[in-house]
Every structure is written in C-alpha cells, then in structure tokens.
Chain A
C-alpha cells in the first residue's frame, strides 16, 4: 500500500467524517437533554435537499449552508412539538419524522437531481502548497471541515463549562431536579433540540454542498443512524465523538480502498466492515458503566400538578 493510498484513505475519511461528526454533535445535545432523536436521517435529508436547492438557485453556497442549518433546526422543532408539548413517544415520533423527511426531501430536491452547483470553495493549507499537486489536492479542505473540530470543542465547552450546559444536562438526568432548581425543563429541551438541529443541518450541508456537491434521493444512506450509534460510542462526550467519527469514516474509506485494490473478497462483504466495526465497538462497550447515558433519556417529562 502506497503512501498516496494511505493519505487518500485519510483524506476521504476526513471528508465523509465531517458531516457525520456535525450530526453526532447535534444528537449529543439532543440526548443530553433527554431526547432520543431517531429522525436524524430525515432531518439530514431535508436539510441537505433544501440547502442544495437554494445553492443551485442562488449560486451562493453560503446561503445554501444557512438554509440547511435552519431547515435542520425547524425539523427538530417538529419533533420537539411532538415529544415535548404533546408528550408523544420519542422513538415513534423520531421514526415518523424520518419518513416525513424522506418524502419531503424527495419533493424538495425533485428538480435538482443531477444539477451542478458551485460548492463551498476549498481552501488549501498554506504549508502544503509546495507539495506535489497529487498530495496537496487531497488536503484542500472547505471551511466546514476546518470548523468541525472547533465545533466539537465548542459543544463540549457549552455542555460542561456553562450554566446553560449544566441545566441542559440536569434535564437529561432528572427533569424534576432541574425544575426544582428553578429551571423550565420544557424550554430547555426545546433549546437543546434547536441547537442540535442547527448542527445536524451543518452536517447535511457539508454532505450535499461541500463534499458530494450533488443531490440524490436518500443520499444520506444511513448516516443519521450511524450518528446515533456514534453518540453511544462516544458516551455522550463531544470530544470522544471526534475519534468515533474519524474511526468510522476511516473504516468506510479503507474498505473502499480494499475494493479498488482488487482483493478477492466480495464487495458486498467489504461494505459491511464499518458496520461490523460499529457492532463490535457497541458490544465491547455494551456493559457501559453506570451513568454514562443520561438517566432520563427517552422519558417524557410530565410536569407537576
């Protein structure tokens, strides 16, 4: 295996891992407040399609990213209405949101399948410009890639070092305690879903506007669910999520490399490597020590009389 192919794997892992990491960060915020958002797949699709459509219409990728972000937050607000205000079951509502997202995104993107856009511009790292083009082109990243690790650190800081984060985590652990401390658990959960939605929107924007620069139906191909798994993998910690996202995307890129290297294993089996890796990690982490998951995760907050 050449250095070039190794770097290729790394580059591709970074590209595909970025949207995964943003999405995971969004889900971490949702879940830290006690809400499981299983509708991520649908949220991502609607974000990706609407951002792509706006980019195609206005030829302004930044505007597209903005629309993606807002679409993500709006989709999460639908979930919020169901599970916070209407006290519906979170898993059922999440799945409903996902299927709604499938349909809505297909409708939004129907005229843009195969459309060409100018995606987010790539900015090359200053130190790399004197490398051979073959190498340096691998590391021409767009703005969202540069921002993803700072975003993870920011989310970590917000959750663990601010008053807002403390209240949000308290709602996810025990909403009654948060209420007794003078907070409004309902409002905090809406806030968490909103901010989480913004991040999922960023992830979706990176996928359609920066990475693939393309819209096809169901282009997320399970990323939303992988993000849910990565939240568990990362033990609800944004910093650990960086490693998780990179590891998973690395596995995807690696199996693609194996396929192209002409190895004598069925590509169908190779395709499963990242998922097997995910399952193995979940098994290894299966008996998670106490208190890693937010204690009230998935529970409806009923309020008091």
Chain B
C-alpha cells in the first residue's frame, strides 16, 4: 500500500487524528484510526455503510466523543468535546441528514451558525454576506426563502454556504451527492475545486468510487472501522478501491441449492414496473421488475440507502405503488392493506427492529402476538390466548435454539436479542414469503448460523425469501439469485455462480452498469 504522501503542491499538515477508537453498544465503529488532512486538499473517505466514516467525522466535529485517541491541529494537541470546540478550531460539517431547519429562512439558518453573530440579529447584513459569498462560488440561493421551499440541491448549497460563512477552514461533507442529480453533482465539484484553490481542506465522505476518482486528491479507505489504506488519486484505480472496500472472501458454499423449478411454479411475488415516491430524503424506486418463486432466496445487494428499505416497504404495502403492479400468490394485491398482506402469509423483518418492528414498552410476549392478533383473539377479541402464543413461539425458538424472556419490555433487550425476537416472530406459522432486511445485524456467529439455517429451512419448505443485506458474503452464501440496487433501480441480476464480489461491488457503487438488466 502506498505510504501517506502529502499532495505535492501544498504539503502543509492541518489535522491529524491518531488512534481514534469509538464503540457503540455491540459495535466497534472506529478501531484505532489514524488520519492526516492537509490544507488545500480534497480528501475522500471511502467505505461501505457501517465502515465507520461518519462516526469518525462526527468525532472530529465533536458531535460524538471518542473513547480514546487524540486530535492535533497544526501540530498542537486539540481537545474537541462538542461542536462548539470544533467550530472554534474552524472545523465545519454538513451532516448526511441535513441539519437545516425547514421552518427557518435561509438567512436564519445561516445566522445560526455565524460565529460573530451580534446579540441583536442584523438579517440585512447576513443577507449581504450570503449574496457576496454565493456570487463568488456560484452558489445562488435566495436568502429570504424558507428552507422548506427549497429543493434538495438548493439545501445542499445552503449547507455549504453555512459552513463557509461560519469561517470553517476544514469542511466535512457527509455523502453530499447522495441526493443530487448528476448536473448538481458537477456543480458541487466545481464549488469544491474553487474552495480547494482558496486553501480550504475538504473531507468528502462517500461510497461512490467514480466521484472519488473525479474530484479527490487523496483517498482513505475504511473497512469495518479500520483504515485499509490511503492512496493519492493518481495512483488509485477503480478496481483497486473496490478491492480495498470489499474484503475479498470467497464464500464457502455449504448450503445446498435447491432446484428451482422456475416456470413450472407460479411466482409468489411479482413486481412489475413498480415506481414509488418517498418523502424527504428517501429514495424513489424506479421501474422495479422482480419475481420471487417458491423455494428460492433472492438476494438484494446494495449500499444501504439505495432503495432497499423502500423495496421491503412497498412489498408489504407500507408505501404506495405509484405505478406498476404487485402480485402475491397469483393475485393482484397492488393496493391491499398491510393487514391483508400479513394475513395472506407474508413476513417482514425490517432493517431497524426497535423502531420499525417492535413496540418498545410492550413485553416480549405481547410483541410476539402483535402482528397476528387475529390468530390469538378469543371471544371476538375480548381475550387473548397467551398460552397459544407461547406454544407457537416456543416451537420456533426450540427449532432455532433461541431463548428469550417472556415478560420483559422489548426495549430492555440487547440488539441481538431484539433481532432474535423479530426473527422468531416472523418465522413462526410458516410464512410463504419472507422479506428479511439485514437479517443478521447485531447477531453473534452462532445466532447468525441459526438464522441462516432457519431461512434455508423455510426455503426448503417451499417459501420464497427476499433477502436484503449489506453483507456480500451472506448474499453469496444464501441466495439462489441476486439483484443489485443502486439509486432505486435494479442495476444487475445474477446467479451467484456467474459473478463475484468485485462485479457486484462495482454495480453497488455505480461505477459500472450491467446492460440488459431486464432478464
């Protein structure tokens, strides 16, 4: 791996992070990370979701506090305990989920971050400064507009103006292009280039390799909370970066693949030309064609935030199909309610079990029954047959080798146990179609194996599975077919044997497009 080399023209070191570690319950987000940032460079932080990029930068901005490690500014040790400290050191950050306040005007949002704001607001002066700076960097916005009226691209401009006016010398941008249209991305890169020429340092967090190659001076790749390496842009190539981002690990195939009698059987789930529109920062699904047949596992690969959540939600009916049709078990169900979908034998393990699948203050037992109350209601719903709930759930738990306490509130469970609870609940009663998002998130090795074999068991019994995952290893191991989602579209369809993690990685990061994806 090439050594840390400063960019030739401006070799002044600005920020050094040394041995930064940060643990969240159950996850090591940053593991002794070293990072050097020079003045007048665009430094890309590249990595998959969950690689620890955002956490590291939130530590630099004081939003999180590191468990250990030190930060140096111009060689001097710097203590950053809060964003206040970071701002004093002229560090600014644009968060991935924008921190603009929709109910405030552009000028008010910017004023909030001005370091020299007077005790009495002088909005005229703020407006003037916005206009001057926006002319200089070609970031045109109307200071009087309410942020709620702005497009996402305009909001991005406001965020950058906000940082520039707050006198930041180091700008951290977390996935700034995530929500931008291609021409907006070009405009953003021009702005960044202008800022670099003025001597500012820019850290760009991203998972899109083509963008990194286009605009950065140096690239640091993170994987699972560690630095894989730092390369100057001229020395980097796309395939090299893919290799650094995704661990090359051939899947040890121990799963017997069931013979798919496609065509002989009617697909359990069939999406045809499905479009969705999501609120705010969500992703719109575009022209999704997808089939899940009995006895197969269809893997969905993609960097999270590219439409996976929306895919699961649209199948279950949590968001509407704007266009297109949805067929379940041979019947048109495009506009059926969630309850009807669930009653017909569909199970859903969403990506965030605590907020999306569990009632935190209800007990485990109650949570187990809550998605199938019609099954346990007695005397017209006046009474619940808790004994029946327990019997059913215990069967599943015994099969999977899990055990959970019945009478504690769900919120007191650890992440892994919560995941187990949801898996057990959703796999009880032999569902015919299972949508599983990030099935093994938070599970230890043993539980992962148990969850996997439960899925395989379900498949063997003729169920169809839509497996959404960010672990390519898991997808290669379990899937009978694979699709790749990027920016709300299906950009690749494969059988696992026909491809490898490089090809998938390229598709996931938008550096390559498989032609003829309508298989």
Binding site for B on A (CB under 8 A): 160-167, 169-170, 173-174, 176-184, 290-291, 294-295, 304-305
Nearest-neighbour CB distance to chain A for B194, whole angstroms, equals: 25
Question: Is B93 at the interface (CB under 8 A from chain A)?
Answer: yes
Contact B117 A182 (CB under 8 A): no
Question: Is B101 at the interface (CB under 8 A from chain A)?
Answer: yes
**In the complex, A173 Cα to B64 Cα: how many Å?**
21
Contact B112 A181 (CB under 8 A): yes
Nearest-neighbour CB distance to chain B for A294, whole angstroms, equals: 8
16 residue pairs bridging A and B, Cβ less than 8 Å apart: A160-B121, A161-B120, A163-B118, A164-B119, A166-B121, A170-B104, A173-B102, A173-B104, A174-B99, A178-B112, A180-B83, A182-B83, A294-B103, A304-B63, A304-B64, A305-B65
Question: Is B407 at the interface (CB under 8 A from chain A)?
Answer: no
Contacts of A295 in B (CB 8 A): 101-103
Question: Is B108 at the interface (CB under 8 A from chain A)?
Answer: yes
Contact B119 A291 (CB under 8 A): no
| A157 to B, closest residue via Cβ | B120
* With A167-B112, A170-B112, A304-B64 as contacts: A180 and B99 at CB distance below 8 Å: yes
Interface string of B86-121 (1 = CB under 8 A from A): 010000010100011111100010011100011111
| B99 to A, closest residue via Cβ | A177
Contact B119 A182 (CB under 8 A): no
Contacts of A181 in B (CB 8 A): 83, 87, 112-113
Contact B112 A166 (CB under 8 A): yes
Nearest-neighbour CB distance to chain A for B68, whole angstroms, equals: 14
Contact B148 A291 (CB under 8 A): yes
Nearest-neighbour CB distance to chain B for A298, whole angstroms, equals: 16
| Extra pairs beyond A165-B121, A179-B83, A181-B87 (20, CB < 8 Å) | A162-B119, A163-B111, A163-B117, A163-B119, A166-B108, A166-B111, A166-B117, A167-B112, A170-B104, A170-B112, A173-B103, A180-B61, A180-B63, A180-B95, A180-B99, A182-B84, A182-B113, A291-B103, A291-B146, A295-B103
Q: Which 8 A-B pairs have the closest CB atoms?
A: A182-B84, A291-B103, A177-B99, A173-B101, A182-B87, A181-B112, A180-B83, A181-B113
Bin chain B's interface residue count.
20 to 34
Question: Is B453 at the interface (CB under 8 A from chain A)?
Answer: no
Nearest-neighbour CB distance to chain B for A212, whole angstroms, equals: 38
| B88 to A, closest residue via Cβ | A182
**In the complex, A174 Cα to B99 Cα: how many Å?**
8
* With A173-B104, A174-B101 as contacts: A163 and B121 at CB distance below 8 Å: yes
Residue of B101, B113, B117, B118 with highest tally of chain A CB at under 10 A: B101
**In the complex, A177 Cα to B104 Cα: how many Å?**
12
| B147 to A, closest residue via Cβ | A291
Residues of B60-83 whose CB lies within 8 A of A: 61, 63-65, 82-83
Residue of A161, A170, A176, A181 with highest tally of chain B CB at under 10 A: A181
Contact B112 A177 (CB under 8 A): yes
Contacts of B100 in A (CB 8 A): 177
Contacts of B61 in A (CB 8 A): 180
Contacts of A165 in B (CB 8 A): 121
Residue of B65, B83, B102, B103 with highest tally of chain A CB at under 10 A: B103
| A292 to B, closest residue via Cβ | B103
* With A163-B118, A170-B101 as contacts: A305 and B64 at CB distance below 8 Å: yes
**In the complex, A180 Cα to B63 Cα: how many Å?**
7
| A164 to B, closest residue via Cβ | B119
| B119 to A, closest residue via Cβ | A163
Contacts of A290 in B (CB 8 A): 102, 148
**In the complex, A170 Cα to B121 Cα: how many Å?**
14
Contact B103 A162 (CB under 8 A): no
Residue from B93, B102, B117 in contact with A180 in the complex, judged by beta carbons closer than 8 Å: B93
**In the complex, A163 Cα to B95 Cα: how many Å?**
23
Contacts of B104 in A (CB 8 A): 169-170, 173
Contacts of A182 in B (CB 8 A): 82-84, 87, 113
Nearest-neighbour CB distance to chain A for B416, whole angstroms, equals: 19
| B117 to A, closest residue via Cβ | A163
Contacts of B112 in A (CB 8 A): 166-167, 170, 177-178, 181
Contacts of A183 in B (CB 8 A): 84
**In the complex, A4 Cα to B148 Cα: how many Å?**
50
| A178 to B, closest residue via Cβ | B112
Contact B84 A305 (CB under 8 A): no
Contact A162 B121 (CB under 8 A): yes
Nearest-neighbour CB distance to chain A for B415, whole angstroms, equals: 15
* With A170-B112, A180-B95 as contacts: A161 and B121 at CB distance below 8 Å: yes
Contacts of B108 in A (CB 8 A): 166
Contact B120 A163 (CB under 8 A): yes
Contacts of B95 in A (CB 8 A): 180
**In the complex, A211 Cα to B480 Cα: how many Å?**
80
Contact A177 B65 (CB under 8 A): no
Nearest-neighbour CB distance to chain B for A174, whole angstroms, equals: 6
Contacts of B146 in A (CB 8 A): 291
**In the complex, A160 Cα to B112 Cα: how many Å?**
12
**In the complex, A304 Cα to B59 Cα: how many Å?**
11
Contact A305 B24 (CB under 8 A): yes
Contacts of B101 in A (CB 8 A): 170, 173-174, 177, 295
